[in-house]
Structure 1
Amino acid sequence: MQRRLRGISQATLSEGLGVSFQQVQKYEKGTNRVGSSRLQGIAIILGIPISFFFEDGPRAVPDAQPDMNADNDIVALFNTAEGLALSRAFSRIEDPNVRRKFVGLATALAAKP
Structure 2
Amino acid sequence: MSHPVDIHVGRKLKQARTLRRMSQTDVARHLKLSFQQIQKYEIGSNRIAASRLYDLSRILDVPTAYFFEGLGDAPEVGARDHGLDIVSAVASIKDEQVKSRIVTFIEDVSGRTVAKSA
TM-score range, shorter chain: 0.5 to 0.7
Query: For the structure 1 residues 18 and 12, does the alpha-carbon distance in structure 2 shift closer, same or farther, using more than 3 Å as the test?
Result: same
Quote the Cα distance in structure 2 between the aligned partners of 1:84 and 1:6.
10
Q: CA deviation at 1:18?
A: 1.1
Quote the Cα distance in structure 2 between the aligned partners of 1:42 and 1:18.
12
Quote the Cα distance in structure 1 between the aligned partners of 2:67 and 2:29.
21
Query: For the structure 1 residues 51 and 10, does the alpha-carbon distance in structure 2 shift closer, same or farther, using more than 3 Å as the test?
Result: same
Q: How does 1:35-54 map to 2 (within 5 A)?
A: 35-54=49-68
Q: CA deviation at 1:53?
A: 1.6
Task: Look up the SS of the partner of 1:95 in the other structure.
Answer: helix
Give the aligned partner of residue 100 of structure 1: 101
Partner AA of 1:39 in structure 2: L
The TM-score normalised by the length of structure 2 is 0.57
Give the aligned partner of residue 17 of structure 2: 3
Quote the Cα distance in structure 1 between the aligned partners of 2:92 and 2:50.
34
Q: Equivalent pairs: percent with the same residue?
A: 35
Which has the higher relative contact order, 1 or 2, with Cα contacts under 8 A spaced 6 or more apart? 2
Query: For the structure 1 residues 40 and 84, does the alpha-carbon distance in structure 2 shift closer, same or farther, using more than 3 Å as the test?
Result: closer
Larger Rg: 1
Q: How does 1:18-97 map to 2 (within 5 A)?
A: 18-55=32-69, 75-79=81-85, 83=86, 86-90=89-93, 92-95=94-97
The TM-score normalised by the length of structure 1 is 0.59
Q: Which runs of 5+ in 1 are unaligned?
A: 57-74, 105-113
Q: CA deviation at 1:51?
A: 1.3
Query: For the structure 1 residues 55 and 77, does the alpha-carbon distance in structure 2 shift closer, same or farther, using more than 3 Å as the test?
Result: closer
Quote the Cα distance in structure 2 between the aligned partners of 1:77 and 1:35.
25
Partner AA of 1:44 in structure 2: R
Query: For the structure 1 residues 13 and 93, does the alpha-carbon distance in structure 2 shift closer, same or farther, using more than 3 Å as the test?
Result: same
